[in-house]
Amino acid sequence: MASTKRLAALLAIASIVVGACGTSGQTASPAGESVAPTTPAASAEVTPAPSAGAETYPRNETLYTTGKQWGPPSTWNPLDPNAAMGTVGLQYESLLLYDPLADTWDPWLAESATWTDPTTYTIKTRSGVTWSDGTPFTADDVAFTIGLGKIKAVGWNIWDYVTEATATDASTVVVKFSDPAYQEWALWTYDKPILPRHIWESKANEDILTDTNANGVGTGPYKYKTAAEDRMVYERNETWWAKAALGLEAKPRYIVDIVNGANNVALGLLMQGGIDLSNNFLPGIATLVDNGYVSTYFPEAPYMLSGNTAWLVTNDKKPPLDDPQFRLAIAHAVNVPDIVNKVYGNIVKAADPTGLLPTWEKYVDTAQRDALGFKYDPAKAASLLDAAGYKKGGDGFYTNKDGSPIKLTIMVPTGWSDWEAARDVIVASLIAAGINAEARIVDYNGLVDARNNFDFDLVVNNEVQISNTPWTYYDYMFRLPLMEGAGKNRNYGGYENPEAWALVQQLDKTPVDDVAAMQAITSKLQKISLTEMPVIPLWYNGMWSQVSNVVWTNWPSDGANRILPATWNGYWQMGAVKMLTQLQLVQP
Restricted to residues 47-66, the positions that interact with another protein (CB under 8 A) are 48-51, 53-59, 62, 64
Q: Which is nearer to another protein, 333 or 448 (CB)?
A: 448
| Residue 2 in contact with another protein, rule: CB under 8 A | no
Which residues from 215-254 bind another protein, rule CB under 8 A? 226, 228-231, 233
Per-residue contact string for residues 166-185; x = within reach of another protein by CB under 8 A: --------------------
Q: Residues binding another protein: what is the number (CB under 8 A)? A: 82
| Residue 81 in contact with another protein, rule: CB under 8 A | yes
User: Which residues, in sequence order, are bridge partners of residue 549?
Assistant: none
The dihedral built from the CA positions of residue 487, 490, 494 and 499, taken in this order, carries a sign that is: negative
Q: Where does residue 348 rank: exposed (0-12), middle (13-18), buried (19+ CB within 10 A)?
A: buried
Nearest distance, CB of residue 521 and another protein, angstroms: 20
- The count of other CB atoms within 10 Å of the CB of residue 272 is 17
Distance CA 404, CA 407 (A): 10
Nearest distance, CB of residue 472 and another protein, angstroms: 8
∠ CA 32-35-37, rounded to 5°: 90
Nearest distance, CB of residue 563 and another protein, angstroms: 23
Which residues from 128-167 bind another protein, rule CB under 8 A? 152-157, 160
Distance CA 402, CA 508 (A): 42
Nearest distance, CB of residue 118 and another protein, angstroms: 23
Pairing of strands 546-547, 277-278: antiparallel
Per-residue contact string for residues 256-275; x = within reach of another protein by CB under 8 A: x-xx-xx-xx--xx-xx-x-
Residue 424 — φ and ψ, nearest 5°? -60, -40
Per-residue contact string for residues 490-529; x = within reach of another protein by CB under 8 A: x---------------------------------------
- Binding test (CB under 8 A) with another protein, winner from 68, 126, 349, 479: 479
Nearest by Cα to 418 from 539, 328, 514: 539
Q: Which is nearer to another protein, 54 or 367 (CB)?
A: 54
Nearest by Cα to 439 from 429, 448, 452, 426: 426
Nearest distance, CB of residue 468 and another protein, angstroms: 14
Measured in residues, the chain has a length of 588
Which residues from 200-219 bind another protein, rule CB under 8 A? 206, 209-210, 212
Q: Which is nearer to another protein, 270 or 518 (CB)?
A: 270
Q: Which is nearer to another protein, 117 or 229 (CB)?
A: 229
Q: Which is nearer to another protein, 55 or 300 (CB)?
A: 55
Instruction: Give CA 566 to chain center in angstroms.
Output: 9
Q: Which is nearer to another protein, 484 or 558 (CB)?
A: 484
User: How many angstroms separate the Cα of 218 from the Cα of each of 39, 77, 431, 570?
Assistant: 42, 11, 55, 16
Q: Are 94 and 88 in contact (CB under 8 A)?
A: yes
Which residues from 9-38 bind another protein, rule CB under 8 A? 10-11, 13-15, 17, 28, 31, 34
Nearest distance, CB of residue 219 and another protein, angstroms: 23
Nearest distance, CB of residue 223 and another protein, angstroms: 15
**Which one of 7-15, 127-135, 389-397, 540-548 is the stretch in contact with another protein (CB under 8 A)?**
7-15
Distance CA 46, CA 255 (A): 21
| Residue 103 in contact with another protein, rule: CB under 8 A | no
Largest distance between two CA atoms of the chain: 85
∠ CA 76-80-85, rounded to 5°: 50
Distance CA 412, CA 133 (A): 47
* Alpha helices (runs of H) in 416-570, residue ranges in sequence order: 417-432, 444-452, 471-478, 498-508, 515-532
Distance CA 562, CA 574 (A): 12
Nearest distance, CB of residue 6 and another protein, angstroms: 9
Nearest distance, CB of residue 294 and another protein, angstroms: 15
Q: Which is nearer to another protein, 54 or 379 (CB)?
A: 54
Q: Are 268 and 258 in contact (CB under 8 A)?
A: no
Q: Are 147 and 201 in contact (CB under 8 A)?
A: no
Q: Which is nearer to another protein, 264 or 417 (CB)?
A: 264
CA torsion angle for 85, 87, 89, 90 (degrees, to 10)? 90
- Residue 341 is given by DSSP the state I
**Which one of 105-113, 318-326, 327-335, 463-471 is the stretch in contact with another protein (CB under 8 A)?**
463-471
- Residue 262 is given by DSSP the state -
Q: Which is nearer to another protein, 17 or 102 (CB)?
A: 17
Q: Which is nearer to another protein, 58 or 128 (CB)?
A: 58
Nearest distance, CB of residue 187 and another protein, angstroms: 10
Distance CA 225, CA 214 (A): 9
Q: Which is nearer to another protein, 335 or 467 (CB)?
A: 467
Distance CA 79, CA 451 (A): 27
**Which one of 384-392, 402-410, 459-467, 577-585 is the stretch in contact with another protein (CB under 8 A)?**
459-467
Nearest distance, CB of residue 265 and another protein, angstroms: 4
Q: Which is nearer to another protein, 273 or 302 (CB)?
A: 273
Which residues from 428-457 bind another protein, rule CB under 8 A? 443-446, 448-450, 452
Q: Which is nearer to another protein, 26 or 116 (CB)?
A: 26
- Binding test (CB under 8 A) with another protein, winner from 354, 465, 510, 546: 465
Distance CA 204, CA 145 (A): 10
Q: Are 125 and 138 in contact (CB under 8 A)?
A: yes
- Binding test (CB under 8 A) with another protein, winner from 69, 80, 95, 336: 80
Nearest by Cα to 541 from 307, 280, 284: 307
